[in-house]
Amino acid sequence: MDDETVYRVLTDHQQNGTAGWSLQDVVKQLHEWAELFRFRFKLEIPAIPLRLARLRWNCLGHFNPGFNDFGLQNEIAIDLLHLVFRLETGDWWQVLGTLLHEQLHFWQQLNARPSKPGPGNYHNVQYRDKARHLGLSVSSRGVNEGYDPEGPFLKLLAEKGVVDPATFRQQHDTSPARPRVGSKLRKWSCGCERPVNVRVAVADFRAVCLKCQRLFTLQESPVV
């Protein structure tokens, strides 16, 4: 049995053969969006099953062009904590952003010039240009730093009633123009009954509390 046949069987099992699995409906939606992204954005990649798993603490998703634990190639995985957290906060669209981010790695692996393995070399200029063309601003470190309200990604989500691009336009138009002064530290807290608090200067802090297994969330703006 070749990989394509195995993937087809696994994908069907995820969507139709997992009675009692609490994430079955979510996986169905992810597959539907993956198909939509493939065809609307002409990614020219095959359909594959999507793995939901606990990934390393700073990884929201990954694309593995090598072999996974089952000996199958080109795995796309979404971090389970990221998925659950975004469902709880109503930011489902950010999981879709992660999904498209990983599909773009698959596109580059099959149709373009993927980066050579090495630290800081995974999201090369070609990858970031492709992402920008679709409305995703991705840093060289692989962080989704923003979304273009006029880009194809948010326009598609708006067409399907998932987001309102006007919200993103307003955020862009009202971004602070005055220079920041004083401390840039922001307070972030975990979800414990007696939360752990940390102060960091980065705007996109992503960490998970090892006790409550929840992402730290922003509690206040920088101290000025």
Backbone angles phi, psi at 27, to 5 degrees: -65, -40
**Residue 212 and residue 122 in one domain:** no
pLDDT tens-digit series, residues 76-86:
999 999 998 88
**Residue 203 and residue 133 in one domain:** no
**Residue 77 and residue 133 in one domain:** yes
* The overall pTM is greater than 0.85: no
Which residues are CB-contacts of 126 (< 8 A; sequence separation ≥ 6)?
A: 108, 112, 113
**Residue 57 and residue 80 in one domain:** yes
**Residue 96 and residue 59 in one domain:** yes
Query: Do 7 and 72 meet the contact criterion of CB atoms below 8 Å apart?
Result: yes
Enclosing domain of residue 69: 3-173
Q: How far apart are CA 224 and CA 216, in angstroms?
A: 22
**Residue 68 and residue 109 in one domain:** yes
Q: How far apart are CA 175 and CA 177, in angstroms?
A: 6
pLDDT tens-digit series, residues 60-113:
999 988 888 788 888 999 999 999 888 888 889 999 999 999 999 999 999 988
Looking at the 3D structure of the chain, how many domains does it have?
A: 2
DSSP, collapsed to helix, strand or coil, labels residue 61 as: strand
**Residue 45 and residue 155 in one domain:** yes
Q: Which residues is 18 bridged to in the sheet? A: none
